[in-house]
Amino acid sequence: MNKFEIRSPLPGTFYRASSPDAAPFKADGDDVAESDVIGVIEVMKTFHEIPAGAAGRNILFAAENEEPIMAGQVIAEIEQ
């Protein structure tokens, strides 16, 4: 089984939900479609949606909610 890494396209703060009181876009173990949003990255008060980029199952997040991340850092992995 292949693992697909979802990497951050830019540095910023990673959020797993669209707002503090919203449910996370995806939870560990969820299936994902290529276009599914898995989180957002905040850069200078601007939010950028992060799509999965590939279809798969059993997403496992490597980045925690509200974690500062760097460009290229792995956010999550999915099984393909």
Domain definitions of the chain by residue range: 3-79
What 3-state DSSP class applies to 73? Answer: coil
What 3-state DSSP class applies to 15? Answer: strand
pLDDT at 74: 98
pLDDT tens per residue across span 9-68: 999 999 999 999 999 999 999 999 999 999 999 999 999 999 999 999 999 999 999 999
**Which helix (H) or strand (E) is 40 found in, with range?**
strand 37-43
Q: Which CATH class, in words, describes the domain spanning 3-79?
A: mainly beta
pLDDT at 1: 76
Amino acid at 3: K
